[in-house]
């Protein structure tokens, strides 16, 4: 399956993406994680993206698209992947369509986790004290949320129009959210999801 998970910062998509890729046996690709690794390792890409990450801005499309294109060309994701954090605007969405179509493929499903704003702010501020992520300060969090609704919500709307968006409530215990995701997938793709839920 070629799938992605999206949702506002703090919705828990990173955690759920990891669990999903384990359960479904497909490799995950998290653009945020790849960027953070590059920053940590002081690579040329890391040097280029650090300021964008710290300010809570999107990394420019050309850098992001190139990184995803290279990653999706690797053997371990040729037959399926779970993208986390991409596409984040409609121009990246168009780029992903082109990448996949070049191989005769298309996205099968877009999962969306929904969480209300007050809960998101609470979670992100808590995360800031735990992980020390440099983009988890109050001001930057507000900015990232604003960007999400302006840039990324239209991506969800586009997938919804295509009929491939599965929207799942992201509040409540982590295990509950995971069960909801599996149930939603199972309802849409009974054949691809053998084994017990």
Q: 133 an active-site residue?
A: yes
- Which stretch in 29-37, 73-81, 101-109, 159-167 sits in contact with ligand ADP by CB under 6 A? 29-37
Give the whole-angstrom CA distance, residue 197 versus residue 179.
8
> Does residue 35 touch ligand ADP according to CB under 6 A?
yes
Beta-strand pair 28-30/165-169: unpaired
Tell me the closest approach of the beta carbon of residue 173 to ligand ADP, in angstroms.
19
Best CA proximity match to 109, nearest among 117, 118, 100? 100
Who's near 64: CB < 8 A, 6+ residues apart? Answer: 31, 58, 86, 88, 92
Q: Which of 81, 86, 159, 178 binds ligand ADP (CB under 6 A)?
A: 86
Q: Which is nearer to ligand ADP, 117 or 192 (CB)?
A: 117
88 lines the binding site for ligand ADP (CB under 6 A) = yes
Catalytic (active site) residue 144? yes
Stretch that binds ligand ADP, among 81-89, 93-101, 166-174, 183-191 (CB under 6 A): 81-89
Cβ proximity to ligand ADP: between 24 and 58 the closer is 58
Least spacing, CB of residue 164 vs ligand ADP, in Å: 18
φ, ψ at 167 (rounded to 5°): -100, 130
112 contacts 168 by C-beta, under 8 angstroms: yes
């Amino acid at each position: 399956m070629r799938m992605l998970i999206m949702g506002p910062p703090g919705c828990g998509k990173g955690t759920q993406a990891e669990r999903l890729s384990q359960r479904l046996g497909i490799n995950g690709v998290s653009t945020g994680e790849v960027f953070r690794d590059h920053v940590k390792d002081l690579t040329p890409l890391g040097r280029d993206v650090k300021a964008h990450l710290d300010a809570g801005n999107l990394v420019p499309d050309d850098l992001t698209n190139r990184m995803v294109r290279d990653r999706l060309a690797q053997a371990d994701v040729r037959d399926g992947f779970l993208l986390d954090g991409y596409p984040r605007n409609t121009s990246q969405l168009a780029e992903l369509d082109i990448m996949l179509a070049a191989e005769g493929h298309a996205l099968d499903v877009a999962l969306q986790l929904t969480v209300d704003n007050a809960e998101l702010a609470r979670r992100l501020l808590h995360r800031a004290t735990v992980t020390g992520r440099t983009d988890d300060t109050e001001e930057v969090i507000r900015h990232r949320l604003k960007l999400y609704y302006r840039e990324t919500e239209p991506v969800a709307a586009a997938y919804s129009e295509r009929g491939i968006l599965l929207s799942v409530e992201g509040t409540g215990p982590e295990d509950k959210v995971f069960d909801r995701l599996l149930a939603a997938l199972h309802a849409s793709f009974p054949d691809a999801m053998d084994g017990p839920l």
